[in-house]
Amino acid sequence: MSQTKADLLQGTLDMLVLKALGLGSLHGYGIIQRIGQMSEGMLTVEQGSLYPALYRIEQRGWISSKWGTNETGRKAKFYTLTRAGRRQLAVEEASWDMLALAIAKVRQAT
């Protein structure tokens, strides 16, 4: 693992995916790229992590998928955030804030 890249912690990927889709529908490959861009290259999502996650997230009703074609005419599966997904994103962001706050407290404790 390179020095400038953070490992993903279990549980953070869903939030990242939902967040990426919050900016508009995308296919899987595009999600990986968008997360890379949004994090300014600090976060790299592996395909082998993403696709199972997409399946899982869709099962839970937070995203929906539809086959379509991208701008170059190639087939791709497009994922869209559902209303429930938008709610879930808020939940996960709140959880993250809570955890980050708790960790911060621990770190400043004497």
Partner DNA sequence: TACTGTACTTTGACATTCTAGGCATCACTC
Partner DNA sequence: GAGTGATGCCTAGAATGTCAAAGTACAGTA
Contact status, residue 48 vs residue 57, Cβ threshold 8 Å: no
The region of 8-16, 81-89, 91-99, 100-108 touching DNA under the rule CB under 7 A is: 8-16
Among 37, 47, 69, 80, which residue sits at the site for a second copy (rule: CB under 8 A)?
A: 37
d(CA 50, CA 17) in angstroms, rounded, equals 8
The 3-state DSSP class for residue 75 equals strand
Q: How many residues bind DNA (CB under 7 A)?
A: 32
Q: Which of residues 25-54 bind DNA (CB under 7 A)?
A: 27-30, 45-54
What angle do helix axes 47-59 and 12-22 make, rounded to 10 degrees?
A: 80
Residues lying near DNA in the complex (CB under 7 A): 1, 7-14, 27-30, 45-56, 70, 72-74, 76-78
